[in-house]
């Protein structure tokens, strides 16, 4: 897992509209980068909707929101349209950012072990340095935690 003080790995991935977006595009701005397992699953939908509802508050606190999963661009497009998500969703099927941020890990679910995305949120500062790491985040409270942190 990456820690506060580490340089955030740069990445370039496709957004829901097929545009290429790099973390370095946001130099000079704080970025909330949250990794989640899968579009349209209950927890991921609640987390995305909470970020959507709080997006303007987060922007007002000087940060941009980027959600990343290994879902396809087409899946992200449907997900964003269905829930009217106003922030950036990036597709990472090759696990570039997911592995770069060390969130591709062994998971245990009902005794079954598999590899997958561990729900994690990073705040990257204006210089591309990880400022804060939220581990094992809860979908229902993650957006509120981010707002509380940014508002300090």
> Domain holding 37: CATH number?
3.40.30.10
Say which residues have a Cβ less than 8 Å from residue 111's Cβ, sequence separation at least 6: none
Residue 70 has pLDDT above 90, yes or no: yes
End-to-end CA distance of the chain: 25
Residue with tokens 């704080």: 30
Tell me, yes or no, whether 2 lies in a domain. no
pLDDT at 104: 97
Does the predicted model carry a pTM greater than 0.85? yes
Tell me, yes or no, whether 131 lies in a domain. yes
Among residues 8, 44, 50, 90, the one annotated as catalytic is 44
Residue 7 has pLDDT above 90, yes or no: yes
Q: What whole-number distance in Å separates Cα of residue 92 and Cα of residue 112?
A: 24
Tell me, yes or no, whether 6 lies in a domain. no
pLDDT at 111: 86
Q: What pLDDT, in 10s, does the model give residues 80-134?
A: 999 999 999 999 999 999 999 999 999 887 888 999 999 999 999 999 999 999 9
- Please check whether residue 87 is in contact with residue 67, taking contact to mean a CB–CB distance below 8 angstroms: yes
What does DSSP say about strands 88-91 and 63-69: parallel, antiparallel, or unpaired? parallel
pLDDT at 109: 79
Where does the pLDDT of residue 146 fall: very low under 50, low under 70, confident under 90, or very high at 90 and above?
very high
Q: What whole-number distance in Å separates Cα of residue 53 and Cα of residue 111?
A: 35
| Count of domains forming the chain | 1
Q: Is 44 a catalytic residue?
A: yes
Tell me, yes or no, whether 38 lies in a domain. yes
Tell me, yes or no, whether 7 lies in a domain. no
Percent of the chain whose predicted confidence (pLDDT) is above 90 = 93
Tell me, yes or no, whether 116 lies in a domain. yes
Tell me, yes or no, whether 4 lies in a domain. no
pLDDT at 131: 98
Domain residue limits at 110? 12-150
Tell me, yes or no, whether 62 lies in a domain. yes
């Amino acid at each position: 897992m990456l820690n506060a003080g580490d340089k955030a790995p740069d990445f370039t991935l496709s957004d829901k509209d097929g545009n290429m977006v790099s973390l370095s595009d946001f130099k000079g701005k704080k970025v909330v980068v949250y990794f989640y397992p899968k579009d349209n699953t209950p927890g991921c939908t609640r987390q995305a909707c909470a970020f959507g509802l709080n997006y303007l508050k987060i922007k007002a606190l000087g940060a941009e929101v980027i959600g990343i999963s290994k879902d396809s661009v087409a899946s992200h497009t449907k997900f964003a349209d269905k829930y009217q998500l106003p922030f950036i969703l990036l597709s990472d099927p090759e696990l570039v950012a997911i592995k770069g941020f060390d969130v591709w890990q062994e998971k245990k679910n009902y005794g079954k072990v598999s590899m997958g995305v561990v729900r994690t949120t990073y705040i990257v500062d204006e210089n591309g340095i990880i400022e804060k790491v939220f581990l094992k985040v809860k979908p229902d409270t993650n957006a509120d935690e981010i707002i509380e942190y940014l508002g300090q």
